[in-house]
Amino acid sequence: MADLVQYYGTGRRKSAIARVFLRPGNGGFTVNGKELKVYFVTEQQRAAAVRTLKTAQVEGQFDVVTTVKGGGVTAQSDAVKMGIARALLEFNIELRKTLKADGLLTRDARVKERKKYGQKGARKRFQFSKR
């Protein structure tokens, strides 16, 4: 039996985590068992998900199989973008310079700030009354 050739990368954004598998193929793209256009409904989300493949100029060379959980759909598309970038590095380390220059390997560390005690939210306070 022939071994399955695939490249793996993990992408994260906010609380979304994407596990990305790149397999040599003809450009198929599935997210949680659904087609790309079914799972990511807006064009902006689809563009974010495939941006890495366009930057590395490997469109149509790989089948992308991803499982995503947590967060919202936009954060999930950004997590997929980062996961593909990391999987491509496993495929060819020479793509690092191109991907790094486009900011595709940098983890976006912005997350929701926690609510503090004695306050209404993360920053908002309860109304102050002098008298």
Task: Check whether 73 has a pLDDT greater than 90.
Answer: yes
The pTM (predicted TM-score) of the whole model is 0.90
Evaluate if residue 2 carries a pLDDT over 80: no
Task: Tell me the C-alpha distance between 83 and 11, whole Å.
Answer: 4
pLDDT at 1: 52
Distance between CA 33 and CA 118 in Å, rounded? 44
Q: Whole-angstrom distance between the N-terminal and C-terminal Cα of the chain?
A: 81
Q: What stretches of 1-131 show up as alpha helix (H) in DSSP?
A: 36-39, 43-56, 73-91, 96-101
CA distances for 87 relative to 61, 72, 101, angstroms: 13, 22, 17
Each residue of 5-58: pLDDT tens digit? 999 999 999 999 999 999 999 999 999 999 999 999 999 999 999 999 999 999
Res 4: pLDDT:
84
pLDDT band at 131 (very low <50, low <70, confident <90, very high): confident
Return the CATH fold of 7-101: Ribosomal Protein S5; domain 2 (3.30.230)
